Every structure is written in C-alpha cells, then in structure tokens.
Amino acid sequence: MTLWRSGVRRRRVTNLCALLAAGLLWQLAACSGTTVPAAPLGGAAGSGGGSGGGGGSGLGRPVGNPQPRSGGPAGGWHGGPRYGAHCAAPPVIAHRGEGGTIAPVPENSAIAELAALRQGASLLDVDVRWTSDDVPVVIHDPTLNRTTTGSGPVASVTAAQFTALGVRTNDGRRVLPRLHPQTLAQLLAALKGTETRRNAAPIIVQMEADPFAGGAGQSSINALISVIAASGYGGKIVVGGWSADDVSAFSASAPGIRTAYIQESGNPSAASIRAAGASILYIDFAKLTPSQVAAWHRGGITVWAWTPAHASQWARLRTMGVDAIATNWVGSYTHWARPCAAVLPK
C-alpha cells in the first residue's frame, strides 16, 4: 500500500495486466498484489455513497480501528452476533463485488467477487437481469452500453450473444481484454471453488429487472430458481426484489430460499415486508433513522443498508444497529474495523 500526499490510499495493481494478458482471470483472487483501490475514509456523514455508491468527496486520512464494544448497539443485532474481541463492525457486503468506478476489475463478475473475498467481505452481492431467451445474467444496468461492448437493452440479446460480448471498466471508458460478461450460473460456478476455504460467503442476488414488467413473468422467476438450485449454493443465497409482487412471487415458488425486500426510500412496515415473504430489508442508508431500524427489528426484520462510502457513515449505521452494510469499498471498511461474520436470518 502507498499513502499518497492527497490522503487517498491506493493498492498496487501491477499484476492485473499480466493476469489479463495471460488469461488467468479466475486466479485473480490468488494474486496478493491485485486489490481494489480503497475509498477515502474521512468523509462527513451523508456525503458520497448513495444509490450509486463508491465515490464521494471528503478525502481524509485513514482512521484507526475503533474499540470493540462487548454489548454491541442498543439491544444488540437482530439475529446477529454482538460486538466483542472477534469483531467491531457489522458484516460488510461487497456491492456488485467491488463496484466503485475506479475499481480495476469489472463489477458483477467472478473476478470482482473473488477480489472482495480476499479483502474480507462477509457477504457478496450481484445484480441479475434476464436475456431474451430468459437466462439470468449478471449485470446492473438495463442496457449493455456502460459495462459491455454491446449496446441496447439486456433483454434484446440471447445468453449466447451476451456472453460473447467484451467487458468494460465500471466507468465505461476502457475495454478489458479476454473478459466476457457472465450468466449467473457461470458466476456461481466460479465462486463454488471458494466454498471450503471461505465457508461459502452468502451471496445476495438482486433482481434488478422486474420479471413482471417487460419480462417473462413467472417463467423468469422459475429460471432463476433453477439456476440457484443447480448451483448447490441455495442455502447461502438471498434473493432480493424491488417490488413486493416480485418478492412474493419468488417466495411462493421457492420457500426454502431467503428473500429480501429492496428499497431506496420509504418506511415499509415490518408486517408488510413479512407479508411479501421477506425477512430482510435491504435499504438505502441515506435517510435511515435509529427509530426505523428499531421498529423493523421489533417486527423481526433484519436490516441491511446500502451503499455508504465513508467511515463516518459506517459508524453512524453501526450505532443504529443495522445488521450489515453494503459498500463499494470493502478494503477500506475492513481497514476501518474488523467486520463480524455474516449471520443470515432463520
């Protein structure tokens, strides 16, 4: 690690080009010299982050690890471990693997997920949409333009056409050689080899597309369930949806797979979240209040917050008692404080 005068910490990426040129892409996680750049740690609460995640101003010096609190936040975590000598912060979710715009590896790829595991991610996170032939593929945007060499809607190409495309950096400016976007099945297969040494870090699969709004409806839900079942990862996967209808449809079809209700704003009641079949609320951190978190906990809901970029924001969420924090800056988060292991609700 080199500490630049600007106060921004950057990690070496000297081995990335060699790996790409050699085609040894799935071995990236074994390369100790290749990690994702760390975010500034000193931003003011409420700055940076947001639904885009990762960027932000307020560059500052890294802060030291906070002292663990044996009792954890008021009332402890809902269904999770309390702070102690073993950990000092909520579990950290690697948003899109490592989704920051300056990350040297592409978001929503096995490479990014493996890199996040090496940095200490407690949970992984991928976005899913469906191709024209109803195959779940990992991509965030509704179009191919930003992160691939294609153009137009994701739903306009077949899975074979999708996986034949090239991959761009997260800011869309450069094409990365020898890389192709992946189906969800391909990504889960690449991660499966990490199961024994990492004890199968849980994976959040976000349904970014609404299968009932322009998709194939229940057929798309069934296709996603089939991929998860075939992966052998089912017990460690949480499927999230942006609408209660999507979550309800998935929960009814796959009651053995945990579900999360994803929200950018609002204050859904614990009862409405449970009525949709979810036990987890995955919500934008920006407007969260302690009273909201406490109310959801009293209603039996686990609360995950996305995607703060700064230590001041992480500390505020820790004090609120959220159960996990999603960020684009896993390396910075684990430098700030040791995260607790992931605990999924029953």
Other C-beta atoms closer than 10 Å to the C-beta of 284 total 20
Helix (H, G, I), strand (E, B) or coil at 239: strand
What pLDDT shows up at residue 195?
Answer: 53
Q: How far are the Cα atoms of 19, 118, 189 from residue 29, in angstroms, in the given order?
A: 11, 6, 15
In this predicted model, what pLDDT tens digit does every residue of 298-345 receive, in sequence order? 999 999 999 999 999 999 999 999 999 999 999 999 999 999 999 899
Q: How confident is the model at residue 103 (pLDDT cuts 50, 70, 90)?
A: confident
More confident residue, 154 or 103: 154
Rounded to two decimals, the pTM is: 0.81
Span 279-285, mean pLDDT?
Answer: 98
What pLDDT shows up at residue 99?
Answer: 67
Q: How confident is the model at residue 26 (pLDDT cuts 50, 70, 90)?
A: very low
Give the torsion sign (CA, 192, 198, 199, 202).
negative
Other C-beta atoms closer than 10 Å to the C-beta of 165 total 18
The domain covering 41-336 belongs, at the CATH homologous superfamily level, to Phosphatidylinositol (PI) phosphodiesterase (3.20.20.190)
